[in-house]
Structure 1
Amino acid sequence: MILPPSLQPGDLVQVVAPSGGLKEFPAFEKGLEIWRSRGYNMQLGSHWDAREGYLAGTDQQRRQALLEAWENPHCKAIVCARGGYGTTRLLENWRWNSVSPKWLIGFSDITALLWNLAKTGISGLHAPVLTTLPSEPDWSIQRLFDYLEGHPLPPLKGQGWGGGQATGVLLPANLTVATHLLATPLHPPLDGVILALEDTGEAPYRVDRMLTHWRLMGALKGVRGIALGRFSQCDLPPSSLSWTVDEVLRDRLGDLNIPIVSDLPFGHDGENAALPVGVEVTIDGDRGLLNFTNKNA
């Protein structure tokens, strides 16, 4: 996996909106200010404020903005404005042209871009988008910039389910987006990976349905470990006859005989620790740790 060069203050960073239409304008401005306060030259990509239904412009407009940023030789990183829905639409007949690699930063719906970029052998960063960055705690913001600027990542601590230790390639994702990439040409190989999964707004039975789909496809057979982040707004009211989302995760993943760590600080509606895509990590299911080998350039 190729790691793009580390950033340094003064670098040009372009903002693109490849997914849902922008609506959180105050948070957007605050996110820009955080990046600028770190010394970065922030440039808004073309059509950043376009709207086409629930999308941030037409497919052609969003493809154009992403391509312009990717091929700009002066641009050192691309930060996505927000998630939502729409990035998978851009990947039909899409090719990452051969240019010097640069950081692509985002999460949630941006999973599709991160996974497809990883399939070409280039690492990205599963991390806050511009509109969620202002709500991050200081340590999470510092973690994001530390990694991009070449500093090592400290381990993340969660709840260990047992299973010992395993080393593999980290592949972070939104569960819903990743599920809809399975059996398409877009996703990277899953053998030898440590999956890092999160989601939001999915009822327990829908999480059950997705994970059962993974099981039936055999998609989990080569996975060496699973790191679970936050599954926010996924539980139904107590009056509903339903398992909790935690019970579903235990039921669908607990018998895989691999290290699993849950309650890690990443995902929607809370702390969203930066996770590099395609780097080697070690997961410790007994101690509840996700450790990074820190080979950042």
Structure 2
Amino acid sequence: MHRRDFLKATALLAGAPAAGLAATTAAPGTARLLPRPLSPGDTVALVSPSAAVAEPLDLQLAREVMEALGLRVVTGAHYADRRGHLAGDDAARAGDLNAAFADPAVAAIVCTRGGSGAARLLPLLDYDAIRANPKPLLGYSDITALHCAIQARTGLVTFHGPIGTGSWSRFNADQFRRVFFDRELMHYANRRDPDDDELVPRRNRTMTLRGGKARGRLLGGNLTVLSALAGSPYLPDFDGAILFLEDVSEAPYRIDRMLTTLKLAGILDRIAGFVFGECTDCEPGPGYGSLTLAQILDDHVRPLGIPAYRGAMIGHIRDQFIVPVGAEVELDADAGSFRMLSPAFAAG
């Protein structure tokens, strides 16, 4: 399909939100669904399901990054739109996603940015089309809403990692090639870079909250976005899962409140293991004082009695892991790492 046909299909789907609404019911006990493999030379679609991209150069850079990785690029019809803080209205943004999944010429979907707004699309997505056309979806932060809903409704493994307009450092590009092109059974252990003038490394350190190993389906993402879905039909089944979380620019009392929400919703009591990435710019504000993040994790996670650690290279940081949401992993809390137990892609 040529790009003009892709854009035409997008426009048609954007005008038909009822189709998405009709496809929101999935059979209970959704099994894991593996995406088709991605190879150099394939076509990826850049879509904007959340906030608008303010600087046109950032969209150009997102295209150039994908091309530098050896991929062809098409764009959603509305990926550069703006409606307030959003990248266009809900039907248009959902239409871009639906068209990208339905287009057989598109091998993978990369979200241009996060921000806010993806959760508004969840009732408008065509989950039957997603299930029938399993392909990789990449993004993080607000894209957590899509990871959760697609996992809950279809079982499709998606990928939590850099957005199109974000950092594409050497580390991130290497992660992309290893995950998508080489299809490695990845072992996610923090890179330990020695500091120039420190006796022992201080960057990228992990801390064990409770030791041990656990196996389960890897689920999670941004804590703010995930906790906001509590009580909705768009959260996956967390029974026996390895839950990973990260956040940015949230005061510790808010982190405490959101973890309390997960506790009260019964989610924390059902998981088999826990990984906390980075909470960037999450320092206490002025006032009478605050619990620290370490104390909050002690209060909520240690009593669970499950293997858990913090400090994984996941979150709003320059160099970040690309992790398969919904894949089976083994967590080693003492080592501060986790590894894939089976491929994240269907056999080619």
Q: TM-score, length-normalised on structure 1?
A: 0.94
User: Within 2, Cα distance between the matches of 1:37 and 1:155?
Assistant: 24
Is the Cα contact below 8 Å between 1:20 and 1:83 reproduced in 2? yes
Match of 2:166 in 1: 132
Larger CA deviation: 24-33 vs 208-217:
24-33
Return the letter of the residue paired with 1:106. G
Identify the match of residue 140 of structure 2 among 107, 122, 144. Answer: 107
User: Within 2, Cα distance between the matches of 1:49 and 1:29?
Assistant: 11
Gap change, CA 1:39 and 1:270, over 3 Å in 2: closer
Show the 5 A alignment for 1:3-82.
3-82=34-113
Unaligned runs of 5+ in 2: 1-31, 191-205
Show the 5 A alignment for 1:128-277.
128-134=162-168, 137-149=169-181, 150-157=183-190, 158-237=206-285, 241-277=289-325
Identify the match of residue 97 of structure 1 among 99, 121, 128. Answer: 128
1:221 partner SS: helix
Deviation at 1:264, TM superposition (A): 0.4
Deviating 4+ runs (over 3 angstroms): 24-28, 237-240
1:83 and 2:83 aligned: no
Is the Cα contact below 8 Å between 2:45 and 2:108 reproduced in 1? yes
1:122 and 2:153 aligned: no
Return the letter of the residue paired with 2:158. G
Larger CA deviation: 80-89 vs 243-252:
243-252
Structure with the bigger percentage of helix: 2
Greater Cα radius of gyration, structure 1 or 2: 2
1:160 partner SS: strand
Deviation at 1:117, TM superposition (A): 1.0
Q: TM-score, length-normalised on structure 2?
A: 0.81
Is the Cα contact below 8 Å between 1:203 and 1:245 reproduced in 2? no
Unaligned runs of 5+ in 1: none
Larger CA deviation: 226-235 vs 141-150:
141-150
User: Within 2, Cα distance between the matches of 1:240 and 1:13?
Assistant: 50
Deviation at 1:90, TM superposition (A): 0.6
2:303 partner SS: coil
2:244 partner SS: strand
Equivalent residue pairs, number: 295
2:309 partner SS: strand
1:75 partner SS: coil
User: Within 2, Cα distance between the matches of 1:97 and 1:79?
Assistant: 20
User: Within 1, Cα distance between the matches of 2:232 and 2:287?
Assistant: 38
Match of 2:12 in 1: none
Partner deviation per Cα, 1:68-120 (whole Å, 9 max, x = no partner): 11110110001001001111111125331333211111011101111111121
User: Within 1, Cα distance between the matches of 2:208 and 2:318?
Assistant: 20
Is the Cα contact below 8 Å between 1:16 and 1:78 reproduced in 2? yes
Is the Cα contact below 8 Å between 1:143 and 1:153 reproduced in 2? no
2:173 partner SS: helix
Partner deviation per Cα, 1:20-59 (whole Å, 9 max, x = no partner): 0112443433232121012100111111111111110011
User: Within 1, Cα distance between the matches of 2:45 and 2:124?
Assistant: 23
CA RMSD of aligned residues (A): 1.6
User: Within 1, Cα distance between the matches of 2:117 and 2:289?
Assistant: 33
Gap change, CA 1:24 and 1:228, over 3 Å in 2: farther
Is the Cα contact below 8 Å between 2:227 and 2:258 reproduced in 1? yes
Deviation at 1:173, TM superposition (A): 1.0
